Amino acid sequence: MSIQDLADRFPQDFIWGVAGAAYQIEGAAREDGRGPSIWDAFSHMPGRVHGGDTGDIACDHYHRWEEDLDLVASLNVGAYRFSISWPRIFPNGVGALNEAGLGFYDRLLDGLKARNLKAFATLYHWDLPLALMARGGWTDRGTADAFADYTGLVTRHLGDRIDTLATFNEPWCISYKGHFIGDHAPGERSLDAALAATHVINLAHGKACLAARAERSDIPMGVVLNAQAIYPASASDADQAAAERHFQFHNDIYMGPMMVGRYGDQLMESCADKLNIEDGDMAVIHQPLEWWGFNYYCPVTIQHDADPNVAFPATKEVLSTTSGARTDIGWEIKAEGLSHLLTMAYDRYANLPPCYITENGACYNIGIDEGGAVNDQPRLDYLRDHISVVADTIDAGIPVNGYFAWSLMDNFEWAEGFSMRFGIVHVNYETQERTIKKSGQWLAELAGHMHR
């Protein structure tokens, strides 16, 4: 299929964009009054991040934002998805506002408007102010109130130039990777803490929606979820039931409260005491949303765990028997998983708002060749195949309004440090030189066809 044929499959008002996140690209970790975040602390702990890498400098976007926005504009896309760093705005999470930190996003938003780019802002992409960790971080209900106050301030000062606002990016990673699996900040390994954090994050989402709308009722509010595309390992009743439990524990634990106002029955039977729900919480969490974001990279294959001592959901992830293709980070490639999850979500949740594919991309550590180019054909193939599935999904009647490639440029890939590259733009971390990869040139051509 030609690029023009692929472009023709999308509505004229479909939004093409690229994405990034504050801690992964900004750097300037100690400049202009920014306070430390849990990722500053975590990445400086020996053995936590590959190679001892940190986000101290990252892509130096804080100083290079103008050329980076020029880069975004050169890709012919219509939108830029970014996150606001809470510790830049409130160095201690609460209390005194840092005007210099707010000023950075003021300039960034003006720069987006000057380039006719839509601003898709995310309030929280994992960089919790470290001071809030001292009182429990996301396991403490007070953090939900602090987040609502931060949201109100951001909306009041910046909301006139924000086109859509997301409360959270990937609550699953915040609660499970941060508090249960332990390979993300703050590095805890406690199921009780992870479930407590989950409910506080859900509560913070609802309170933030209320706070934002109290300032500006005109900003489309949403949340970005990395819901798992789940496939049972076999047709057995045990594996089918395991897939449903896995859905409740990993997907519905966020989507249920946010979209419907309830947690799943099986989850409540097993974990209600660990969620620490108080009267009135569910009504606060369940706020109407204008949109939601779906981040998709790979599917999971789930098998029943027969160990009688294992905790809910009593499932284990196994290697798929149907696909051997994997990216350099080890994730299975299965483009149709994107449609699989969206179809399941729109079947399951009535009145689910329209969605954006807010992240989709592939890790391939292909460097610059002798001619100065980055021939990342595997990433181009990945993007083309997944974008084609997005078109199929729209054809099937599911409301997908836009697609954001992850990521604009190579960056700090959390626990993997700088060892894994997702960018459609190559970054030389020693010189900070940016080079558009073959995949980026292809995406620019695709997006360009949409505007002809």
Residues involved in catalysis: 170, 359
Cβ(326)–Cβ(332) below 8 Å = yes
Distance in angstroms between the alpha carbons of the first and the last residue of the chain: 18
Alpha helix segments (H runs only) across 178-308? 191-215, 237-247, 253-255, 265-275, 281-285
From the list 65, 81, 73, the residue with the least C-alpha distance to 28 is 65
Nearest in space to 104 (alpha carbons), one of 55, 66, 78, 156: 66
Cis peptide before 87 (omega within 30 of 0): no
Spatial separation of the C-alpha atoms in residues 51 and 67, rounded to whole Å: 28
Helices (H), 45-122: 61-74, 86-89, 99-114
What Å distances lie between residue 310 and 180, 302, 321, CA to CA? 15, 15, 25
Residues 6+ apart with CB under 8 A from 211: 148, 149, 151, 152, 155
Tell me if residue 124 falls in helix, strand or coil: strand
Q: In what order do the strands lie in the sheet with 300-304?
A: 230-232, 300-304, 315-318
Question: Partners of 294 in the beta sheet?
Answer: 225, 357
